[in-house]
Structure 1
Amino acid sequence: MPFISKIQRQSDYTLFGSATPIVIDNGASYFRIGWAGETQPRVVFRNIVQRPRHKTTGETVTIVGDHDPALLKYFDCTRSGPRSAFDSNVVYQFEIMEYILDFGFDRLGATGSEIDHPVLITECVCNPVQSRSKMGELLFETYGVPSIAFGVDAAFSYKYNQQQGVCDKDGLAMCPGFNTTHVIPFVDGEPIYKGCCRTNIGGFHVTDYLKQLLSLKYPYHMARFTWEKVEDLKMEHCYIAPDYASEARLFQKGAKEAEEKTRCWQLPWVPPPTEEPPSEEEIARKAAIKERQGQRLREMAEAKRSSRINELENELHGLEFLLKQLEQVEDSNVPSFLAATGYVSRQEIESARTKVTQSLRKAKGEPKNEQAETDKASPNANEKYSLINIPDDMLTTDQLIEKKKQLSLKSMSEGRQRLKQKRYEEELERERKQQLEDEKRLENPELYLEQLHARYKDLSEKVDQRKRLKTNGGHSNGNNLSGGIGRGERLNAAQRERMRLLTTAAFDRGKGEDTFGAKDEDWQLYKLMGKDNDDGDEEPDEDDAELARISSRLLDLDPTFVPNKSETGSSQPAEAPRARPLTKEDFQIVFGVERFRCPEILFNPNWIAVDQAGLDEMAGVSIRRLSCKDESLEERLTSSILVTGGSSLFPGIIERLEAGIRMIRPCGAPIKVVRALDPVMDAWRGAAAFASAPQFHTQTFSRMDYFEKGEDWLRSYQIKYSL
């Protein structure tokens, strides 16, 4: 079976005799395997399995524990995530456990399928007999081990620290592990399992809680919060607060102590390149390039303009020559002559000549002479609209249709002329007013500015008053302030009429048969109800235009002038928010309250919906379960409390446990809480020391016993830790 791992395979497996036991610390987080009598395990890896397929060959490979992330790009891991054989510190997936044992024995150096060494393997407290029997079946029948011994990891750690003089024979072993937390009382060096206590809270839940908090706080950096990285951040930054409430108040108030306890993780960030101002040579070079491009564009435009002028002049000469020829043609031959040219009448040729002349003047850049064009067009008006003054009874059907077209064209032409004349007069009036204002300003600038401010103030108040009346229906509360007016009073006349018609139409139907729409008058009512008839009670916007003109004038003349908020809000669009460039602070992960809030669930599991006792309460529960009346035994238990396991490495856990246990013990009772020498490795070291004792073979369960007595004999199997 192919394995992918960075762990090197041991080469001295054959140097150990068959009587040397193999020690396995089968934890929910890490798997440790080594030889009895040694101080360090030979192989340590994560107790997880992943089985992806190769993207090219399709072969399934086994990834156990730690692996090289660079190799994962060659495998399809979408359908195969990391899997564990544990459920709440109990092995229940023995298919995955077989992969882990295969990998452990392979990296230890075993060459064949048979393991001819006794095996000491750890398990949880009060492990179910089904899990123990399946583990025995796997080791005996798959690997052929000669004998097995099962022991509790926390008990081995307590015995190892007892031999080192850290704790006494009577005491409590508190083991906050990866998935669960156990408390085991020891009397005369042996664990009393009836006094054990377990809570389903451990380091896994602390890491998961920290991952959730960081993902909520920094959702745009969620890809950075991998499980391995959050685990490292937890062990590096988290701590147990002596008093959670007072610690939280420090961060709530933003005290100086809270700033000192805040930690920061800087993510990789590359500052944007700073743009240096261009040099004089660069500016001159760009200006020269721009000038050359402009010159080339001007030459192209001039060439195009010359070509256009030539085309228009040729077309104009052709039309004038055609008109001269048309004068020499007899009236009877005019239709045949025009049919050859593509024109219908003389008027059409003259109209085309006029358009070409105008286009030619525009191309040459000559100013328009509107008066001359008007005078020139006036004599031709009678020829162009020749049928307008002729009575209808003297015209044929086709001539009547042509007369209607001429009437329409004449009205449109006259309307355009009137509009041009009106614009011309308005422009003259505007220039005259502007000239008068400039004269006033030059005579007395201060007086002119004062009058302009007064005019602006009056118009502004007038416009605001009109807006208030439009909103509140012309009502006030006596203080020129808008009061609480109903919706009907805020409507204009057309809207109120529409609502009246709707109400009348609804009540006229009654409870009988609905016959609305049977009469033409009913459909006429729809037209009256339509919103298109809403002319509104709006006043002309001359005041708004004048106010905008005066405001623009004041902005030009008075630098201290500030327009009203209502005017700026109505006339200027809201500025869109600009994207802020990312800075170094945007790539910083700040750890504040999270440092002590996440490990606090060890003492308050109800924060993550686990209704069980906390770590300090478990000590009192375990003592009460012993049901002992000897007060001296309770004092001996609390005077030697050993904390072991990976989650006991949080700073401050010893002081917090001692304070919590003191709250449930009588005043003056001796309490001593100590941490193991190495909370992570002491369980394996204690098991290795136990397996190296000469009496170890008396504590094993052999393969012959398994075949003779069966799995049920494992129910009463229990080793003695005091050899």
Structure 2
Amino acid sequence: MLSYKWVEQFINGEPVYEACCRTNVGGYHVTDYLKQLLSLKYPHHISKLTWERVEELKMEHCYIAGDYASEVQLFQRGDKEAEDKTRCWQLPWTPSPVEEPPSEEEIARKAALKEKQSQRLREMAEAKRSSKINELENELKGLEFLLEELKDIEEDDEIVSFLVSRGYAAKREVESAFAKVTQSLRKAKGEQVPSEEKVDISAAEKYYLIDIPDDELSAEQLKEKRRQVFLKSTTEARQRAKQRRLEEELEKEKEKKLEEQKRMENPECYLEQLRAKYKELSEKLEQRKRLKTNGNHANGNNNVSGGVGRGERLNAAQRERMRLLTTAAFDRGKGEDTFGQRDEDWQLYKLMSRDNDDDDDDKPDHDETELARISSRLREIDPTFFPGSESGASASEVPRFRPLTKEDFQIILGVERFRCPEVLFNPNFIGIDQSGLDEMVGVSLRRLPSWVQGLEDKMTSSILVTGGSCLYPGMGERLEAGIRMIRPCGTPIKVVRATDPIMDAWRGASVYAAAMQFPQQTFSRTDYYDKGEDWLRRYKFKYTI
């Protein structure tokens, strides 16, 4: 899209071609510059900043500053005058719906629905409890019948075979199961179990086959003995682990109470100690991570180039394994490969697999756990703490969600109002190395031929501006001030704006095209192709009709 400004000299209705000049800056560049500035300022509203809308904003709000530097300083100070010159474009915005408190009918409806759901859950629980009671009663009857049958059997061998056929190893196991089912049934029915009736089976009764030698047991009893040994060992291990966890929790609770006591005695000192410890652990872990990534340079290797070899990234155990492999390869590299024929060769695998790794890189790090604990503690007692900062103070604000408001959908036009049209007088703002409008007037006056040199004052007193860009407020005053700076003192200067700047050029061209002399004063496309470009440059238009 072409956009430019012409400066032409007319004497007695005829143009002076020697004095004409043009700059390749126009309304298109002003609109494009404004669109760029607003897109950078409001990237989240870039879809709203269409070319047509920016063109409208330019024509509605932009103006020419009489003194650009003073106007910029005015907006930098943020005075009341600058605030009055600021314009706001409100984008379409729908406020977030405000949640109204529920009505009494809604509260009653929700309460009724909740009660209905609770009743349904109670019915389901009651049905489940009844089913469990029936199952326990049936199981209890089966055990009672089994015990009655055992009373009729007198031989021990027959008792053992009878119990094995029923899935039990001894009579005590049946009695224990009967006591457990009885207790479970009473609990299911909601009855209070007396303390003297509570089942307390000792380890000797529960694991009665462990102390009996294997040669005195049958095959089924040996199988049951192995099961009891496994159950006893796992039970004891769980009890030890539970006791250990309980002791650790008690120790942590004790340490927490001591820390809280220290904090209550001297909060500032306690907070400072926590920050110092957090900083120390952070630096320690960062140093360890850096050494793990870049290699341990304290091993005596002087790496002049600053690069890190693979050997420097290995820990002590890995370097030792690498040394053993390298030594073995060097020793066996000559001649026939006879590795493995001697017994001492296999000692190499023992050395390589030896657990001599003194690093704890792959193990859970106590420092990381302690750092996480201190960080959590600091977040609780220090509202200014932000993880990642050295002193505990927030290095940057934590992003927080907030609902969008009316101000988030506003386009503010401040300095952009006069900065964009300023490219007409300073094209270097957008990277175009050309003269502005006021300088072009001076250039055009200097190009006048000698036979019209005495008419400069007459011409500066009748300057006509036309086109859409002359509609900016302050255009005439700024152009007059710019011309006055390049002309001698006392030169009469008058800038007049056309009646209809946008349509005047079209109307003038239409009148000229409708005149009788138009065919004789113009040339056709065929003439251009026949006579060439040089002839066109020598062609002189005559506007006199």
TM over 0.5: yes
Deviation digits for residues 542-590 of structure 1, max 9, x if unmatched? x99xx98xx9xxxxxxxxxx945699989xxx99855322222222211
Per the alignment, residue 664 of structure 1 pairs with 486
Give the RMSD, CA atoms, in angstroms. Answer: 5.2
Deviation digits for residues 250-288 of structure 1, max 9, x if unmatched? 112211111111111112222233333333344334333
Shift of 1:612: 1.8
Of residues 137, 145, 151 in structure 2, which corresponds to 1:313?
137
CA separation in 2, counterparts of 1:688 and 1:535?
Answer: 88
CA separation in 1, counterparts of 2:136 and 2:448?
Answer: 116
Greater CA drift, 513-522 or 190-199? 513-522
Say which structure is richer in strand: 1
Per the alignment, residue 381 of structure 1 pairs with 206
Q: Which runs of 5+ in 1 are unaligned?
A: 1-86, 89-178, 438-448, 474-484, 552-561
Of residues 87, 90, 96 in structure 2, which corresponds to 1:272?
96
Query: Could you say what secondary structure the match of 1:265 adopts?
Result: strand
CA separation in 1, counterparts of 2:504 and 2:527?
Answer: 35
Per the alignment, residue 601 of structure 1 pairs with 423
Per the alignment, residue 284 of structure 1 pairs with 108
CA separation in 2, counterparts of 1:538 and 1:577?
Answer: 25
Deviation digits for residues 293-314 of structure 1, max 9, x if unmatched? 3233323322322222322332
Shift of 1:681: 0.8
Of residues 514, 527, 546 in structure 1, which corresponds to 2:357?
527
Deviation digits for residues 664-711 of structure 1, max 9, x if unmatched? 222332322221111111112223333454544543558xxx779974
Shift of 1:208: 1.5
Per the alignment, residue 75 of structure 2 pairs with 251
Deviation digits for residues 433-482 of structure 1, max 9, x if unmatched? 9xxx9xxxxxxxxxxx9999339889778766765775688xxxxxxxxx
Deviation digits for residues 197-245 of structure 1, max 9, x if unmatched? 2222111121122122222222222222222111111111111111222
Of residues 210, 213, 220 in structure 1, which corresponds to 2:37?
213
Q: 1:302 to 1:578 in 2, by over 3 A?
A: farther
Cα contact 2:179–2:199 (8 A) shared by 1 = no
Deviation digits for residues 370-408 of structure 1, max 9, x if unmatched? 99767334452342xx1x324578789998786555334
Shift of 1:354: 6.2
CA separation in 1, counterparts of 2:249 and 2:278?
Answer: 30
CA separation in 2, counterparts of 1:399 and 1:339?
Answer: 9
Greater CA drift, 576-585 or 645-654? 576-585
CA separation in 2, counterparts of 1:420 and 1:342?
Answer: 32
Per the alignment, residue 501 of structure 1 pairs with 316
CA separation in 2, counterparts of 1:589 and 1:419?
Answer: 65
CA separation in 1, counterparts of 2:486 and 2:176?
Answer: 111
Code of the aligned partner of 1:677? T
Per the alignment, residue 504 of structure 2 pairs with 682
Code of the aligned partner of 2:436? G
Query: Could you say what secondary structure the match of 1:656 adopts?
Result: helix
- Equivalent residues in 2 for 1:416-565 (5 A)? 416=238, 453-454=264-265, 487=287, 501=316, 505=320, 520-524=350-354, 527-532=357-362, 563=381
Code of the aligned partner of 2:354? Q
Code of the aligned partner of 1:712? K
> Does residue 612 in structure 1 map to residue 421 in structure 2?
no
Of residues 603, 611, 622 in structure 1, which corresponds to 2:444?
622
Deviation digits for residues 597-652 of structure 1, max 9, x if unmatched? 11111122222222222222222222333353754233333222211112221111
CA separation in 2, counterparts of 1:675 and 1:468?
Answer: 71
Q: 1:405 to 1:456 in 2, by over 3 A?
A: farther
Q: Which runs of 5+ in 2 are unaligned?
A: 300-312, 332-346, 389-393
Code of the aligned partner of 2:265? A
CA separation in 1, counterparts of 2:125 and 2:43?
Answer: 56
Of residues 531, 535, 539 in structure 2, which corresponds to 1:712?
531
CA separation in 2, counterparts of 1:540 and 1:645?
Answer: 74
CA separation in 1, counterparts of 2:383 and 2:490?
Answer: 73
Greater CA drift, 363-372 or 674-683? 363-372
Per the alignment, residue 198 of structure 1 pairs with 22
Query: Could you say what secondary structure the match of 2:357 adopts?
Result: helix
Deviation digits for residues 142-178 of structure 1, max 9, x if unmatched? xxxxxxxxxxxxxxxxxxxxxxxxxxxxxxxxxxxxx
> Does residue 583 in structure 1 map to residue 405 in structure 2?
yes
Q: 1:360 to 1:416 in 2, by over 3 A?
A: farther
Code of the aligned partner of 1:501? A
Q: 1:402 to 1:639 in 2, by over 3 A?
A: same
CA separation in 1, counterparts of 2:516 and 2:273?
Answer: 107
Deviation digits for residues 339-369 of structure 1, max 9, x if unmatched? 7656676676566556655654654456889
> Does residue 411 in structure 1 map to residue 233 in structure 2?
yes
CA separation in 1, counterparts of 2:105 and 2:364?
Answer: 66
Cα contact 2:438–2:483 (8 A) shared by 1 = yes
- Equivalent residues in 2 for 1:181-196 (5 A)? 181-196=5-20
Cα contact 2:18–2:447 (8 A) shared by 1 = yes
Code of the aligned partner of 2:44? Y
Of residues 61, 68, 81 in structure 2, which corresponds to 1:237?
61
> Does residue 651 in structure 1 map to residue 473 in structure 2?
yes
CA separation in 2, counterparts of 1:404 and 1:283?
Answer: 62
How many residue pairs were aligned? Answer: 493
CA separation in 2, counterparts of 1:418 and 1:576?
Answer: 45
Query: Could you say what secondary structure the match of 1:248 adopts?
Result: helix
Code of the aligned partner of 2:316? L
CA separation in 1, counterparts of 2:135 and 2:116?
Answer: 29
Code of the aligned partner of 1:297? L
Per the alignment, residue 637 of structure 1 pairs with 459
Q: 1:227 to 1:283 in 2, by over 3 A?
A: same
CA separation in 2, counterparts of 1:459 and 1:368?
Answer: 52
Query: Could you say what secondary structure the match of 1:699 adopts?
Result: coil
Cα contact 2:18–2:449 (8 A) shared by 1 = no
Q: 1:363 to 1:271 in 2, by over 3 A?
A: same
Say which structure is richer in helix: 2
Deviation digits for residues 75-114 of structure 1, max 9, x if unmatched? xxxxxxxxxxxx53xxxxxxxxxxxxxxxxxxxxxxxxxx
CA separation in 2, counterparts of 1:195 and 1:216?
Answer: 40
Cα contact 2:423–2:430 (8 A) shared by 1 = yes
Q: 1:619 to 1:458 in 2, by over 3 A?
A: closer
CA separation in 1, counterparts of 2:214 and 2:287?
Answer: 58
Percentage identity across aligned positions? 55
Code of the aligned partner of 1:263? R
Query: Could you say what secondary structure the match of 1:531 adopts?
Result: coil
Greater CA drift, 306-315 or 676-685? 306-315
> Does residue 296 in structure 1 map to residue 127 in structure 2?
no
